[in-house]
Amino acid sequence: MVALESTLISHGLPRPDNLRVARALEEEIRREGAVPATVGVVEGVARVGLGPEELELLASGEVPKLSARDLPAAAAKGVSGATTVAATAHLAALCGIKLFATGGLGGVHRGARESWDVSADLAALSRTPVAVVCSGVKSILDVPATLEQLETLGVPVVGFRSRAFAGFYLSDSGCTLAWSVEDEREAAALIRALPGLGLGCGVVISNPLPPEEQLDPGLHERVLRSGLEELARRGVSGKEVTPFLLEHFRERTGGESLRANERLVLRNGRLAARIARRLCEER
């Protein structure tokens, strides 16, 4: 099985693309011989595996984003919500799911020395035995600081056939990893080794876009700079930072960032499914 976060549907992509991509991602995983399990909260009940109507509910854009710490309150109040990486990993682990595919992790925000804005995704991975296949952390974040934080927390980070840490929209974030795995068999062996070594953490598997599919690096730099300036001018902070900057990228790139996001999400889903199959075959 491969877990999928629902925040990608509710807050990461615009309507109607969000629902289309969510369905396409599940179908890609099925084609690779695995079972997709999109995670969310429906009327206060945590669901690992959503039906068509539940996917449509979360794609409406009218539900809150729920991190792991929000789950008890959502359960008590009976509300519906979309789960972040932290909440999705937690709920997937409760069900024994080892693989989780997403676009990009949360991480250390730029200016975190003043704001202390660090995603709960990182701490969650330090205590949750789930492997996350992703295209690095979102490139709007402080990537070197995020990798330093993951190292401090003891979370293994490996590249898939590359030691260049993926830069989300970009193939290379400019950061080099100490380790890489060469195929799905090695990735599965790494995941299988964690509990036997007494490590209760997860692992990040960086799966970069091929250079020919990435966003133009020069365009990326210009749009990021203008987005950060607009962010400061409007005083956007907290949970609103990432959706604001992703929408800024979509507008300023004429939709190219959205298309890159879709490509990387589907690639990560396919890779996670192949690793999941390998884990089952060699159990």
Positions annotated as catalytic residues are: 5, 138
CA dihedral sign, ordered 243, 245, 246, 248 = positive
Question: What is the spatial distance between Cα 156 and Cα 205, in angstroms, rounded to a whole number?
Answer: 9
Is 85 annotated as contributing to ligand binding? yes
133 appears as a binding residue in the annotation:
no
Residue 4: closest CA among 94, 88, 64: 88
Q: How many whole angstroms separate alpha carbon 107 and alpha carbon 140?
A: 10
- The number of helices, as runs of H, and strands, as runs of E, in the chain is 12, 10
Phi, psi of 41 (to 5 degrees): -120, 125
Q: Check whether 121 is labelled as a binding-site residue.
A: yes
Is 117 one of the annotated binding-site residues?
yes
Report residue 112 as tokens.
Answer: 């975190």
70 known ligand binder: no
How many angstroms separate the Cα of 232 from the Cα of each of 29, 107, 110, 241? 39, 19, 11, 10
DSSP-derived letter for residue 13 is S
Binding residues for substrate, by number, are: 65, 85, 119-121
Annotated binding-site residues read 65, 85, 117, 119-121
Annotated binding site for Mn(2+): 117
